[in-house]
Amino acid sequence: MAPPLLQLQDIRLTFGGTPLLTSANLSVEAGDRLALVGRNGSGKSTLLKIAAGLIEADGGSRFAQPSATIRYLPQEPDLVGFATTLAYVEAGLGPGDDPYRARYLLNELGLSGEEGTAALSGGEAKRAVLARALAPSPDILILDEPTNHLDLPAIEWLEKTIAASPSAIVMISHDRRFLENLSRATIWLDRGTTRRLDKSFAHFEAWRDEVLEQEEKDQHKLDRQIAREEHWLRYGVSARRKRNVRRLGQLHGLRTDFREHRKVVGNVSMTISDADPSGKRVVEARGITKGFGERVIVDDLSIRILRGDRLGIVGPNGAGKTTLVGLLTGTLEPDAGSLKLGTNLAMVTLDQKREALDPTTPLMDALTLGRGDYVTVNGENRHVIGYMKDFLFTPEQKGTPVGVLSGGERGRLLLARALASPANLLVLDEPTNDLDLETLDLLQEMLTDFPGTVILVSHDRDFLDRVCTSVLVSEGEGRWLEYAGGYSDMVAQRGAGVTARTAEKQAKRAAEPQAPRSDNGRDAARRKLSFREKHDLESLPGRMEAIGRDIAKLQAILADHGLFSRDRSAFDKASAALAKAQGELHRAEERWLELELLKESLDA
């Protein structure tokens, strides 16, 4: 039997006095496909960084075969120091690697290689980091949340690429379908230790429940044994007038084991504040159309959403999913067509970009909206501390600024705020971002039992299958079609997934001559960019690069963990400036993309 390419044994690591890893093991052999799972905050990313050799453990051993090449995909991309995406990817190649593969992978992921790294969106940065990790064809590929910020076509492409790769894979992901399709073994990191199941993630949850059930039985037996030993200590010793030191020592050991047993982290407790039922018809759209310049986002869409429907909206990034949601909920006016909203609607929206959260606001005030110590849930006043505990926040976090919370904590906070508001229509834009698998399960159950209506935008195929009664899919060129059932049902009805159909249509459009589109009755060929549009198109890249530099400086300031306690005013000022700069960058990116698409259309 060949020795493993990489092996971690008895890894121990402590942060801030609390043990994070106490006895973690990981063995990676050639061709392995390992899913590393565990609750948010259990130390999964830390263990992968130790495996990649990026940080050192307090104890234990790490061995990697000297000839083995290891590539690590971080959860948060960092492209600082590289002018273009191609330069960034090429820097990750070794002496014997194929230099063409860098540009090939970038093109496969929808990038040209000439993009400036300072102006990349989150999705573009993720694609560049993926290309850099995949380009060398390493012996071991370590992936930390590889599907974050990716749309469905990119996720499905990544699945196929990894499945065909000869590399050993170790991956963390909250995308259940991704793990089920790719893993062959599962490593469960729980309370500082690891357990291994030599089966795919599809078998994990049943196995985990069996382990926890047996553990509960063992703890009950230990409790009973302690009771027996205490009875002996009180009566047996005094009766014989002789202390059995060995047995007394065993009792102290049992007490220590019971006291130090680290209990399983609790589950999130979710309930929706129900509003009075809406009318039977929630949304009725007839022939609605929306476009920006020459780009048509929605073209002649008619759809009826009834009370109790759970509509999923899917498509590649840039298809216009958020715009479509705005049209269906009445926050955007269509260019043509009509929209009727039902009666007695109480709508609650969950924003995927976390823009509703002020980074300077304390956690408690973010939940109560600054209105005291109580939250009203289902008509009842609940103390904010108890409500925080339902979403796995500790009482000590009540004064923590929102800006220093992790991605998963911000996701739970937004859920807590949204679910406290009375609703009969939930509009959820990527609600699964940064949530662990257990929280996703509970959210899915809650939405399934919700008597109202749900409009859901998501790239999570498993979540769509579990929740949706129908799926609305972008077919390109502004056309959207509705399919009954979840994501898998949609694929079965279309005969292909989003990736295959999109690629097919792009190839077809490239092969066929395109008739010019009209613009308010004028021939598109006569349409030209205005002076203002030309100026914006030329100046925006430089503007985005400058904003990117400002954002990097502000993030470096906020990375000082002691700043908040040392200088609250400086922290608040930097947080507000960061939020403003990120908003400016987002608006600039949207404007540049709109103008670039318009220019390409006119050039064609």
Of the ranges 249-258, 386-395, 480-489, 545-554, the best mean pLDDT one: 480-489
**pTM > 0.75:** no
Q: Which pLDDT does position 431 carry in this prediction?
A: 83
Q: Which residue did the predictor score with more confidence, 204 or 402?
A: 204
Q: Identify the band that residue 220 occupies on the pLDDT scale cut at 50, 70 and 90.
A: low
| Residue 436 pLDDT greater than 70, yes or no | yes
Q: Which amino acid makes up residue 31?
A: G
Distance CA 21, CA 47 (A): 8
- Average pLDDT over the chain reads 81
Q: When comparing pLDDT for 426 and 377, which is higher?
A: 426
* 256 against 290, higher pLDDT: 290
| Of the options 3.40.50.280, 3.40.50.300, 3.30.200.20, 1.10.3720.10, the CATH number for the domain spanning 281-510 | 3.40.50.300
How much is the pLDDT for 144?
A: 92
Assign 3-class secondary structure to 99-164: CHHHHHHHHHCCCCCCCEHHHCCHHHHHHHHHHHHHCCCCCEEEEECCCCCCCHHHHHHHHHHHHH
Residue 596 is predicted with a pLDDT of: 77
| Per-residue pLDDT at 399 | 84
Which range among 131-135, 197-201, 265-269, 538-542 shows the weakest confidence by mean pLDDT?
A: 265-269
Higher pLDDT, 172 or 223: 172
pLDDT at 510: 39
Residues 6+ apart with CB under 8 A from 322: 429, 457
φ, ψ at 462 (rounded to 5°): -65, -40
| Torsion angles phi and psi, residue 552, rounded to 5 | -60, -40
Mean pLDDT of 199-215: 87
Q: Quick one: pLDDT at residue 445?
A: 81
How many CB atoms are located within 10 Å of the residue 177 CB? 22
Predicted local distance difference test score (pLDDT) of residue 230? 58
Interval 4-29 mean pLDDT: 90
Q: Give the per-residue pLDDT at 545.
A: 86
Contacts of 447 (CB under 8 A, 6+ apart): 310, 426, 454, 456, 467
Domain 518-603, what fold?
Answer: Helix Hairpins (1.10.287)
Least confident of 113-117, 351-355, 536-540, 560-564: 351-355
How far apart, in whole angstroms, are the C-alpha atoms of residue 335 and residue 426? 25
CA distance 243 to 181: 60
Among 251-255, 456-460, 517-521, which is the least confidently predicted range? 517-521
User: How many Å apart are CA 406 and CA 394, to the nearest integer?
Assistant: 14
pLDDT category of residue 511 using cuts at 50, 70 and 90:
very low
Confidence of residue 515 (pLDDT cuts 50, 70, 90): very low
Task: Show Cβ contacts of residue 153 under 8 Å, excluding neighbours closer than 6 positions.
Answer: 316, 498, 499, 502, 503
Q: Which two tokens stand for residue 510?
A: 């490239």
Q: What is the pLDDT of residue 519?
A: 41
Return the top range by mean pLDDT from 267-281, 301-315, 538-552. 301-315
Tell me, what's the pLDDT at 329? 92
CA 100 to chain centre: 31
pLDDT at residue 517 above 50? Answer: no
Q: How far apart are CA 505 and CA 482, in angstroms?
A: 18
Residues 416, 289 contacting (CB under 8 angstroms): no
Specify the residue for token string 């000297």: 66
Q: For residue 425, give the amino acid letter.
A: L
pLDDT of 490 higher than 70: yes
Given a cut of 90, is residue 556 above it in pLDDT?
no
Integer Cα distance of 196 and 93 in angstroms = 33
Q: Where in the chain is the domain with CATH 1.10.287.380?
A: 518-603
Q: Is it the case that residue 50 has pLDDT exceeding 90? A: yes
Q: Is 378 in contact with 450 (CB distance < 8 Å)?
A: no
CATH of domain 6-206: 3.40.50.300
- Report the percentage of the chain scoring pLDDT > 70: 81
Six-digit token string for 314: 């899917």
Q: What local confidence, expressed as pLDDT, does residue 276 receive?
A: 64
**DSSP code for 66:** T
Q: Over 90: is that where the pLDDT of 554 sits?
A: no
Q: Which residue has the tokens 């205005």?
A: 530
Integer-rounded Cα radius of gyration of the chain = 27
> For the ranges 108-117, 207-216, 493-502, which has the lowest average pLDDT?
493-502
- d(Cα 107, Cα 508) in Å, to the nearest integer? 19
User: Closest Cα to residue 364, out of 343, 387, 344, 346?
Assistant: 387
Other C-beta atoms within 10 Å of 285: how many? 20
Q: Tell me: pLDDT of 128 over 90.
A: yes
pLDDT on residue 238: 47
Q: In which band, very low, low, confident or very high, does the pLDDT at 284 lie, cut at 50, 70 and 90?
A: very high
**What is the average per-residue pLDDT within 100-114?**
90
pLDDT at 267 over 70: no
Q: What percent of the chain has pLDDT over 90?
A: 31
Give the Cα separation of 330 and 429 in Å (integer).
16
Q: Where are the domain boundaries for CATH 3.40.50.300 in the chain?
A: 6-206, 281-510
Judge residue 215's burial from the number of C-beta atoms within 10 Å of its C-beta, 0-12 exposed, 13-18 middle, 19 or more buried: middle
DSSP 167: S
Residue 281 confidence (pLDDT) above 50: yes
Lowest mean pLDDT among 224-238, 416-430, 510-524: 510-524
The pLDDT-based confidence of 55 (bands split at 50, 70, 90) is very high
Confidence class for position 285, pLDDT limits 50, 70, 90: very high
User: Per-residue confidence at 253, pLDDT binned at 50, 70, 90?
Assistant: low
pLDDT bucket at 16, cuts 50 / 70 / 90:
low
Number of other residues whose CB lies within 10 A of the CB of residue 306:
16
Q: How confident is the model at residue 239 (pLDDT cuts 50, 70, 90)?
A: very low
Q: For residue 242, is pLDDT > 80?
A: no
